[in-house]
Amino acid sequence: MAEKAKNQKKDKKEITNAWLKYNAKQLKEVDQLSDEYIDFISECKTERECVDKIVSMAEKLGYKDLAKVKKAKAGDRLYAINKGKAIVLFVVGTEPLEKGMKILGAHIDSPRLDIKQNPLYEDTELALMETHYYGGIKKYQWVATPMAIHGVFCKKDGTTVKVVIGEDPSDPVVGISDLLIHLAQDQMEKKASKVIEGEDLNVLVGSIPLKDTEKDAVKANVMKLIADKYGIEEKDFLSAELEVVPAGRARHYGIDKSMVMGYGQDDRICAFTSAKALFNCTSTDRTAVCILVDKEEIGSVGATGMTSVFFENMVAELMDKCGDYSELKLRRALQNSHMLSSDVNAAYDPNYPSVMEKKNCSYLGKGMAFSKFTGSRGKSGSNDANPEFIAKLRAAFDKHNVFYQMAELGKVDQGGGGTIAYIMAKYNMEVIDSGVALHNMHAPWEVSSKADIYEAVNGYEAFLKEI
């Protein structure tokens, strides 16, 4: 009786804050998951590092390289890597692939500063490196803050050398200087997009001259240190991919530790939670898929971006290994699929209320965020999800008690953004934008809610079970 009365009371006011629904066991799960997530984004700051980590997690669970298996059957767990920078993982279903797949997609590239191909130079006995920023950034946020260098040198002999400078506590960090306030009278008058200019994002990397060197002795000294450590020569920068990213680990955020502050949460928060949900899926009717792609931040272009035919090719390969490939069946497999295309959303921020429409924006701690549409200026460039599909998702989430919110990215005519959703929708599959809401999107340090991370994994799992 007491229980019934309590339930009736609950019915009166719907709980929308996910923290209020958790019992002690769930709170422990939230903590464990967010600790694992903090490790993930602290260690994986490039698309390559994400792929390497996801593969090692997958292999521990028995996933095998699709290229190395001769045949595939229901229950098999497989992965395929695209040039070290994108990955697709499959749990083969009991139904034939032409019945369609359940696809979780996200991107693993994040805004950063890429080191140019002829980067190293000396000016007034300081050694610097030239960069070209990647993705949309407020450039003034990336100066006067500790940075690390992550990436690879690809050498002429065919070997690849991995680089990480600035993460180990004993490592040095690098960075970009800002102008002292005392001499910033002219700079402070500039508009924010001009305060720091792209060509001025030069990374300071050294100041000791190499003895007995006539020209550019500081540069020579830095080059010698890099050459000795990584076994490379200066020309190897021509075939390098080096990314300057915020140095240091992600952290618990807030006095109540309810949030995470870390670099690259757009969109590794969705990549991590999508992969976790797939890893928890051991058997399925229709084949379950997780695809993590590169290049979303610059338009999903290139061989490793979502517009590449890699995904389509890998589905064809899988069908072939299941002994069930034809061009027509491949087209049906794609058309009959459902997808949660995940990317981060903008959480309501009390410091910037003017850009949000409060009834249709996402909030920290209120669960997964879905956007029927994205785009800007009249939904331009958007995938617009079908309400029939949204209704199915609502049923699935309600059945599994998943917290979710329907949200638009800010007010109409305030801007907007695109995702990979429209690219997969061209196969005529059902796709919706989903994901996790952030504060500080595209800043060096982004903020998410631990409750939303937990709800995302639960939501993706509900999708894989019910759709």
Nearer to Mn ion by Cβ, of 241 and 343: the residue is: 343
What are the CA-CA distances from residue 269 to residues 6, 50, 224, 236, 359 (Å)? 36, 11, 38, 33, 24
Nearer to Mn ion, 163 or 453 (CB): 453
Give the C-alpha separation, 396 to 402, whole Å: 9
Q: Closest by alpha carbon to 429, among 418, 442, 416, 420?
A: 420
Determine the 3-state secondary structure of 119 from DSSP: strand
CA angle centred on 44, ends 315 and 314, rounded to 5°? 5
Q: How far is the CB of 266 from Mn ion (least distance, A)?
A: 4
Judge if the upstream peptide bond of residue 114 is cis by omega within 30 degrees of 0. Answer: no
Whichever of 343 and 461 has its CB closer to Mn ion, that residue is: 343
Kindly tell me which of 17 and 414 has the beta carbon lying closer to Mn ion.
414
Question: What is the rounded CA–CA span in Å between residue 122 and residue 101?
Answer: 54
Judged by CB under 5 A, does residue 241 bind Mn ion? Answer: no
Binding to Mn ion by CB under 5 A, coded x per residue (else -) over 98-137, reads: ----------------------------------------
Which of these ranges, 261-269, 386-394, 405-413, 443-451, lies near Mn ion under the rule CB under 5 A? Answer: 261-269
Say whether residue 433 binds Mn ion (CB under 5 A). Answer: no
Alpha carbons within 13 A on the beta-carbon side of 338: 18
* CA 217 – CA 213 distance, rounded (Å): 5
- Smallest gap from Cβ 443 to Mn ion, in A, equals 11
CB closer to Mn ion out of 243 and 266: 266
Longest dimension (CA), the chain: 90
| Residue 267 binding Mn ion, by CB under 5 A | yes
How near is the Cβ of 452 to Mn ion at its closest, in Å? Answer: 15
Q: How far is the CB of 210 from Mn ion (least distance, A)?
A: 41
Query: Where does this chain touch Mn ion (CB under 5 A) — which range of 168-176, 256-264, 323-331, 338-346?
Result: 338-346
Member of 47, 49, 114, 343 binding Mn ion (CB under 5 A): 343
Instruction: Characterize 234-249 residue by residue with b for buried, 16 or more Cβ atoms within 10 angstroms of its Cβ, and e for exposed.
Output: eebbeebbbbbbbbbe
Interface residue with Mn ion, options 266, 408, 433, 455 (CB under 5 A) = 266
Stretch that binds Mn ion, among 45-53, 264-272, 350-358, 404-412 (CB under 5 A): 264-272
- Piece of the chain touching Mn ion by CB under 5 A; list 28-36, 217-225, 258-266, 328-336: 258-266
The residue range among 95-103, 308-316, 339-347, 424-432 that interacts with Mn ion, by the rule CB under 5 A, is 339-347
DSSP 216: S
Buried b (16+ CB within 10 A) or exposed e, 354-364: eebeeebbbbb
Residue 278 beta carbon to Mn ion: minimum distance, rounded to whole angstroms: 19
CB of 414 to Mn ion, least distance (A): 16
Give the footprint of Mn ion on this chain (CB under 5 A): 266-267, 343
